[in-house]
Amino acid sequence: MNNFIFKNGTKVIFGKSTEELVGIEVKKYTDKVLLHYGGGSIKRTGLYDTIIKSLDEHNIEVFELGGVKPNPRLTLVQEGIDLCRSKNIDFILAVGGGSVIDSAKAIGVGVNYEGNVWDFYDYKTSPEKSINLGVILTIPAAGSETSPSSVITNEKERLKRGVTADCMRPEFAILNPELTYTLPDYQTACGAADMLAHVMERYFVQTEDVRFTDRLCEATMKTIIEQAEKLIYDTESYAARSELMWCGTVAHNDILDTGRGGDWASHSMEHEISAMNDIAHGAGLAIVFPAWMKYVYRENKGKFLQFTTRVFNIDQNFDDPDETILKGIKALETFFTNIGLPTRLSDIEFDESLIPEMAQKATLNGPIGSFKSLLKDDVEKIYNLAL
């Protein structure tokens, strides 16, 4: 086990009707808030009205910036920064999924930074302070509600980049599983794939003596798979919605990688897929992760045997470990297929000729991954395995 520091001070308020508490929570920080959200779904479902009512009751002035899209755009972030500056807004309430929260985080660190906020995402400098953030989560997936990370797409340069900084962690996150009943099945599935990938990125490392966090990861993966499959035929199961929602947060709240680190090559490779094709991040992960596994498993067969036997309860073939491992990868692909996700680049609109450029961009800042360090050539091979 490696030395580590773990601190996650985000207050999670979880359960039925908890969105009604938003005014009380925001009031602890401010009288003026930027309400940041995506399309019109929060107005259709009535969530918008509930939020405005609660903020009004606590005399909180509300400014609005909607229009966040999946793979949130830098231009909207810059608009939000300008708005906060011109109105002296010191708190952002993000209502939505990872894209909205990540956009809010980017605005948060941009408000008091004199340069271009893209500097942070271009690794020119690191964010040191942010205005305060609160979250009402409507899409369990990215785990951004308690994480210190944000991923933004620079649409002009077709670049998708992530930043991690402690100051980006929200002050509070309100999670009501009932708010997720209305999600399209495909979006629920993409969310499950995203959270599963967050665990797998942490699980597949070469760090030794991490039995405890291995088991915590396995517990999380088993639950995600079980509950996401349950939602296929029972979309309004509060039990399944709540289990999946809490898994999504824990998958990315940093406790699962204490003392072990992570790999994150698959995330880097997926970012290039969704920067090119604008498919949902979770769908891209369902495509890239099995290909990555096939390419790297020989680096540590024990880890993949453990994954296969513990997460999928597949009996080990002691005479042929590769067979067992490939069964595990196949079981993962079957899970993705069961919940309606693509598992190949050929399942989506994809231009094969882009692969060299994508591999080059994915490795722009050097090799990626820790389970096996991947160069441009390796990444190309993985994209090809995913065809």
Which residues are at the interface with its own copies (CB under 8 A)? 1-16, 18, 208-209, 211-213, 215-216, 218-220, 222-223, 226-227, 238-239, 242-243, 246-247, 250, 255, 258-259
CB of 57 to its own copies, least distance (A): 20
Give me 341's structure tokens.
């996700």
172/295 with CB nearer its own copies: 172
Q: Would you say 108 and 171 are in contact if contact means Cβ atoms under 8 Å apart? A: no
160/241 with CB nearer its own copies: 241
Q: Distance between alpha carbon 121 and the CA centroid of its chain, in Å?
A: 16
CB of 197 to its own copies, least distance (A): 17
Phi, psi of 16 (to 5 degrees): -65, 135
Give me 45's structure tokens.
């479902």
CB of 9 to its own copies, least distance (A): 3
187/227 with CB nearer its own copies: 227
The set of residues, in sequence order, having a beta carbon less than 8 Å from that of 157 and lying 6+ positions away, is none
344 three-class SS: coil
Give me 174's structure tokens.
């309100």
259 three-class SS: coil
Q: Residue 137, class by beta-carbon neighbours within 10 Å (0-12 exposed, 13-18 middle, 19+ buried)?
A: buried
Q: Would you say 50 and 23 are in contact if contact means Cβ atoms under 8 Å apart? A: no
CB of 363 to its own copies, least distance (A): 31
Cα 61–Cα 66–Cα 68 angle in degrees, nearest 5: 140
The set of residues, in sequence order, having a beta carbon less than 8 Å from that of 102 and lying 6+ positions away, is 72, 142, 144, 149, 150, 151, 152
Q: How many Cα atoms occupy the beta-carbon half-sphere of 123 within 13 Å?
A: 7
Cα 139–Cα 143–Cα 148 angle in degrees, nearest 5: 135
CB of 270 to its own copies, least distance (A): 25
53 three-class SS: helix
The set of residues, in sequence order, having a beta carbon less than 8 Å from that of 255 and lying 6+ positions away, is 6, 8, 216
67/259 with CB nearer its own copies: 259
195/325 with CB nearer its own copies: 195
Q: Distance between alpha carbon 29 and the CA centroid of its chain, in Å?
A: 26
Q: Would you say 312 and 298 are in contact if contact means Cβ atoms under 8 Å apart? A: no
209/320 with CB nearer its own copies: 209
CB of 160 to its own copies, least distance (A): 30
The CA-atom distances, in angstroms, between 345 and each of 153, 349, 350, 362, 387 are 21, 7, 6, 17, 5
8/50 with CB nearer its own copies: 8
61/209 with CB nearer its own copies: 209
CB of 49 to its own copies, least distance (A): 22
242/308 with CB nearer its own copies: 242
101/195 with CB nearer its own copies: 195
CB of 103 to its own copies, least distance (A): 24
CB of 93 to its own copies, least distance (A): 18
CB of 91 to its own copies, least distance (A): 18
